Structure 1
Amino acid sequence: MNQIIETILNHRSIRSFEKDRPLSQEQIQTIVESAQAASTSSFIQAYSIIGITDKEKKTRIAELANNQSYVENNGHFFVFCADLHRHALIGKMEGKEVEPSIESTEKFMVALIDAALAAQNAVIAAESMGLGICYIGGIRNNLEEVVKLLKTPDRVIPLFGIAIGYPAKISGQKPRLPFNHVYHENVYEENEQKYIDELQEYNEIIQKYYEERTAGKRNDTWTSQMGTMLEKQSRMYMKEFIEGKKMNLR
């Protein structure tokens, strides 16, 4: 065990930040440079990061993300975007026909993965400085409005936000799935009954966590949460939106 691993294993989402305590420019730069140090597929670097400092923009993003107060009240808010816009410009600069490639499903996946890798590096850097973070997928509730607000061009898709700041309250750490449910060796586990048994065990762990955290007011299970959430279709406009941004997923 070392300090880096301790930081990683100590992760939890923070949803309450000290008000009026912004990150310094040095902290912002360190976080972004840490993001840039992440691995990137074939050196494509297919992502961009937008820092939101304008209070009105933060308020509007918070509204679009289901009125989550910590989207508005934090030390700094970052929006991570899949970005193949600069690669279209490279095609013009170099006189190369790049559109079929950058409009492919493969390159879209590369952009998603690059952005996610960069974001997790940013998170670990922030947490190593004693800051708290919370990923915000709610910006995808209405990407048309987010795109207008941030003025992102074609081939740029805002994927998620990260609220970062000084924790005002430390949240509990939710137990993750058991190691042997996530880790497969050589081949994928095919025994469905084994899966179900492990999920039942995990349900008991999650129930206990909620009961202790809420003094018995909540005792739902992970599978009941997921079943309810997945039964509800959400953000089903995404394919058409992505294609409209000239990421045609060929």
Structure 2
Amino acid sequence: MNEVIETILAHRSIRKFIDKPLSEDIVTTLVKCAQSASTSSYQQVCTIIGIEDREKKEKLAELAGNQSYVADNGYFFVFCIDYNRHKIAAEMKETEIKETIESTEAFIVGSVDAALAAQNLSVAAESLGLGIVYIGGIRNSLKEVSDLLGCPEHVLPLFGVAVGYPDAEPGKKPRLPIQAVFHKDSYQSKEETENLLKQYENKTSEYYTKRTGGKRTEGWVTQITASMGTPKRTYMKDFVQSKGLNRL
């Protein structure tokens, strides 16, 4: 294996950082790495908003569910779907692209572009010895987040990424068996999936039991079915459409 692969395989989320900001050079390098990610049809639908203002970071931490590491990190990035640029480009050429922007396909393209950019940034950060954690919690109060960041129509914040110098060494959570996520030639049978999930339930139960000294013993199957028992952020469809996205 090379260093890139070793960095990717060593990933774990960091939720405690040393009180040390990232330098401007590092921030710029990370954003350039994000920009270098693949983008569908050269559309470049992602915009990254860097949060440097302490009060805004603290407000975002509150809106994300009082997650302290949203405020206490080396730098906080918010990744957005952004078709505002494309709308302006169309106006410059006196062209109408409203229906394309509002399509479900465009929403998927923008979401994928943002995710690819964020993962490039994350791998680059970890290669520099930094730690990262994704923050989906900003979608708890997305209108407030959008207003706070001044996002116009056709711009939708999707998630944040906190980056910084680690002040913790959490254990690496075991992933699903590769056979559960990598199917050859066709989707695997229900029986195969059930067998793999039973093995994974036992493995993750052992992980949590050891990590918490027996305070938590549930495995992944138990954990995930409980957390998904009630839909979350059910306002999202209406809000996304109010931003002029995913209407068609």
TM range (shorter): over 0.9
- Give the secondary structure class of the aligned counterpart of 2:44: coil
Aligned pairs for 1:14-25 within 5 A: 14-19=14-19, 21-25=20-24
CA positional deviation for 1:249 = 2.6
CA positional deviation for 1:216 = 1.5
The answer to whether the 8 Å contact 2:106/2:246 transfers is no
**Which letter maps to 1:204?**
N
What whole-Å deviation, never above 9, does each CA across 1:11-51 have from its counterpart, x for those lacking one? 000000002x0000000000000000000000000010000
For 1:174, the equivalent position in structure 2 comes to: 173
Aligned pairs for 1:1-250 within 5 A: 1-19=1-19, 21-189=20-188, 191-250=189-248
**Which letter maps to 1:233?**
P
Distance 1:44 1:224 in 2: 40
- Give the secondary structure class of the aligned counterpart of 1:45: coil
What whole-Å deviation, never above 9, does each CA across 1:84-132 have from its counterpart, x for those lacking one? 1101111101111111111111011100000000000000000000000
Distance 1:228 1:214 in 2: 19
What whole-Å deviation, never above 9, does each CA across 1:128-155 have from its counterpart, x for those lacking one? 0000000000000010100110000000
- Give the secondary structure class of the aligned counterpart of 1:203: helix
The gaps in structure 1 that reach 5 residues or longer are: none
**Which letter maps to 2:119?**
Q
**Which letter maps to 1:229?**
S
Instruction: Give aligned pairs, total.
Output: 248
What whole-Å deviation, never above 9, does each CA across 1:205-237 have from its counterpart, x for those lacking one? 101111111112211011111111111121001
Distance 1:243 1:124 in 2: 32
- Give the secondary structure class of the aligned counterpart of 1:209: helix
The answer to whether the 8 Å contact 1:108/1:249 transfers is no
Distance 1:30 1:237 in 2: 36
Q: Which moved more, 1:220-229 or 1:138-147?
A: 220-229
CA RMSD of superposed structures (Å): 0.7
The answer to whether the 8 Å contact 2:153/2:244 transfers is yes
Distance 1:108 1:134 in 2: 24
Distance 1:200 1:86 in 2: 48
Distance 2:247 2:184 in 1: 32
**Which letter maps to 1:157?**
L
Moved segments of 4+, more than 3 Å: none
CA positional deviation for 1:248 = 4.0
Distance 1:248 1:108 in 2: 6
Q: Which moved more, 1:71-80 or 1:214-223?
A: 214-223
> TM-score under structure 1 normalisation?
0.98
Aligned residues with identical type, % of pairs: 51
The gaps in structure 2 that reach 5 residues or longer are: none
- Give the secondary structure class of the aligned counterpart of 2:111: helix
> TM-score under structure 2 normalisation?
0.99
Distance 1:179 1:248 in 2: 33
Distance 1:192 1:46 in 2: 37
- Give the secondary structure class of the aligned counterpart of 2:228: helix
- Give the secondary structure class of the aligned counterpart of 1:38: coil
